[in-house]
Structure 1
Amino acid sequence: MSIAGKHAFVTGGGTGIGLAIARALAAEGAKVTITGRRLEVLQEVASEGLFPMAMDVRDEDEVRATVAAAVTARGPVQICVANAGIAEGKALHKMSLDFWRNMMATNLDGAFLTIRECMDSMRQTDWGRVITISSIAGVRGLKGAPCYTATKHGLIGLTRALSEDYLGSTFTFNAICPGYVDTPIVERNTVSISERAGIDAEAARQIMLEANRHKRLIAPEEIAAAAVWLCGPGSQSVSGQCIEIAGGQT
């Protein structure tokens, strides 16, 4: 099944993993709606096949309206990539309820809203792919980041449950679980780890390198290649899976 001409909807599509996936899908001929909170960022990276739309995944009305507008402009969504998220560590005793709720609203509620609205049009078609971008923290606990870990575990649970709901259909649901990827998030985490641990930036960066089993950062294009494969021929029997991309066994 070719994805040429199909409408893909990618949240957090202006930078990092989301942008890499959007570009890879567009290269295969898909019409890709990219969303994010900052329209100017999306417009800077928009190119042939990429259509920018501002959207805050935490806002139910905004998600509903944006998906509806994208469907009107480019047809039913047949590839939904729920990628938007916050990656920030904070110890339990330093965590406020506002911090917890904001991360839950972005990483988990945002994925739920995006998938729900995209499925409304996808179910009217004969084929669809839903890909959630979880994390290696979704399959094991990440030290110093209990809230982030909880959201990514929840995202895998949502993905697996939906795959059961649509078992035997032409719709598949899979989670990609990367280790540390070379994106702007890593740069921000370098500063955060450095400040929390009282170490220099190079030592902080080394902590993330060591967390990946092959001791290097993962390129966003590696994640994008997995997403394209999940949408391509031969992947129709792959559903409810967690594709770990972390340089080795967890």
Structure 2
Amino acid sequence: MKRAIIIGATSGIGKEVAKGLLLQGWKIGIAGRRKNALNAFRMTAPDNIEMEALDVTQEDATEKLHSLIEKLGGMDLFFLSSGIGHQNMELNTDIELNTARTNVEGFIRMVTAAFQYFRQQGSGHLAIISSIAGTKGLGVAPAYSATKRFQNTYIDALEQLSNMQKLNIRFTDIRPGFVATDLLNDGKRYPLLMDVNKVGAHVVRALNHNRRVVVIDWRYAVIVFFWRMIPRWLWKRLLIKTK
């Protein structure tokens, strides 16, 4: 039986991916900050779900990850879906630093722990949820877009490191656009908002096919294609914001 660890499985994309893997016969370990939500999810399939409450910004998160792996009996897939993001045109320093604390510090803590586990094991699949926001610096959300760009680059670097060390580790970088999750439950209107169930199914298919980089969905793939072509002098003049 294949085993997967999903960090950020209490809601949103992480929870949908966990449900999709369960339907395919995986045994899963779920982790997140909300113990009650984790326990409620675990009770839906107690024979195939293990759980561990953890906060990726805390130093003991690595220890708790290894505890969850031990409960599960191993790990073939590591999937990181925890992250935060806020519009912050006022450039509130606390918001920017908290975003970096989760999306950079917490990201490094979890991803390096998974990489080292797979290095010792000799193989594995390391997957993350980043965002199309990493394509360009977005004035409405500076820390969010910058931290997502960081995640894209970090996975690129780990892939090269894995190759240098002749490791059998596969990588998947999932880059969705706006998804109807708690992260966007802020009263604002977001364009091209995607259903989280459909996004979760898309992610599971991408993982099954060992896709390296996945932009969800085709509309956002088109947007990203053209974003990359916009020169800097024009990009800074664009008004990209939600209502």
- What range describes the TM-score normalised by the shorter chain of this pair? 0.7 to 0.9
**Residue 71 of structure 1: how far off its partner (Å):** 1.9
SS of 2:25 mapped into structure 1: coil
**Residue 132 of structure 1: how far off its partner (Å):** 1.1
Asked whether the equivalents of residues 90 and 144 of structure 1 are also in contact (C-alpha less than 8 Å), the reply is: yes
**Residue 68 of structure 1: how far off its partner (Å):** 1.5
Report the AA paired with residue 222 of structure 1. K
SS of 2:203 mapped into structure 1: helix
For residues 88 and 160 of structure 1, what CA distance do their matches in structure 2 show? 25
Listed one character per residue, the Cα deviations across residues 115-162 of structure 1 (whole Å, up to 9, x for unaligned) are 122223322334311111111101133341001111111111111111
Structure 1 residues 247, 142: closer, same or farther in 2, change over 3 A? Answer: farther
Q: Structure 1 residue 245 and structure 2 residue 240: aligned?
A: no
Aligned to 2:227: none
Which of the numbers 14, 37, 40 marks the counterpart of 1:41? 37
Asked whether the equivalents of residues 9 and 34 of structure 1 are also in contact (C-alpha less than 8 Å), the reply is: yes
For residues 124 and 153 of structure 1, what CA distance do their matches in structure 2 show? 28
**Residue 169 of structure 1: how far off its partner (Å):** 4.0
Residues 216-227 of structure 1: pairs in structure 2 closer than 5 A: 217-227=193-203
For residues 187 and 153 of structure 1, what CA distance do their matches in structure 2 show? 23
**Aligned length, in residue pairs:** 216
- Percentage of matched positions with identical amino acids: 26
Aligned to 2:66: 68
Aligned to 2:185: 187
Aligned to 1:193: none
Aligned to 1:130: 126
Residues 10-29 of structure 1: pairs in structure 2 closer than 5 A: 10-29=6-25
Q: Structure 1 residue 7 and structure 2 residue 8: aligned?
A: no
Which of the numbers 68, 92, 95 marks the counterpart of 2:92? 95
Aligned to 1:109: 105
For residues 25 and 109 of structure 2, what CA distance do their matches in structure 1 show? 26
SS of 1:77 mapped into structure 2: coil
List gaps (5 residues or longer) in structure 2.
224-243
Asked whether the equivalents of residues 182 and 218 of structure 1 are also in contact (C-alpha less than 8 Å), the reply is: yes
Report the AA paired with residue 106 of structure 2. G
Aligned to 2:28: 32
Asked whether the equivalents of residues 76 and 122 of structure 1 are also in contact (C-alpha less than 8 Å), the reply is: no
Which of the numbers 132, 153, 168 marks the counterpart of 1:157? 153
Structure 1 residues 67, 125: closer, same or farther in 2, change over 3 A? Answer: same
Listed one character per residue, the Cα deviations across residues 144-192 of structure 1 (whole Å, up to 9, x for unaligned) are 100111111111111111111123643111211111111122222x2xx
Structure 1 residues 94, 123: closer, same or farther in 2, change over 3 A? Answer: closer
Aligned to 2:233: none
- CA-based RMSD: 1.9
Report the AA paired with residue 114 of structure 1. M
Asked whether the equivalents of residues 22 and 50 of structure 1 are also in contact (C-alpha less than 8 Å), the reply is: no
Report the AA paired with residue 220 of structure 1. V
List gaps (5 residues or longer) in structure 1.
191-203
For residues 109 and 172 of structure 1, what CA distance do their matches in structure 2 show? 22
Asked whether the equivalents of residues 83 and 111 of structure 1 are also in contact (C-alpha less than 8 Å), the reply is: no
Listed one character per residue, the Cα deviations across residues 203-222 of structure 1 (whole Å, up to 9, x for unaligned) are x32xx12xx3xxxx212233
Report the AA paired with residue 61 of structure 2. V
**Residue 25 of structure 1: how far off its partner (Å):** 1.4
Aligned to 1:173: 171
Aligned to 1:199: none
For residues 125 and 28 of structure 1, what CA distance do their matches in structure 2 show? 23
**Residue 74 of structure 1: how far off its partner (Å):** 1.3
For residues 61 and 3 of structure 2, what CA distance do their matches in structure 1 show? 16
Aligned to 2:232: none
Aligned to 2:49: 50
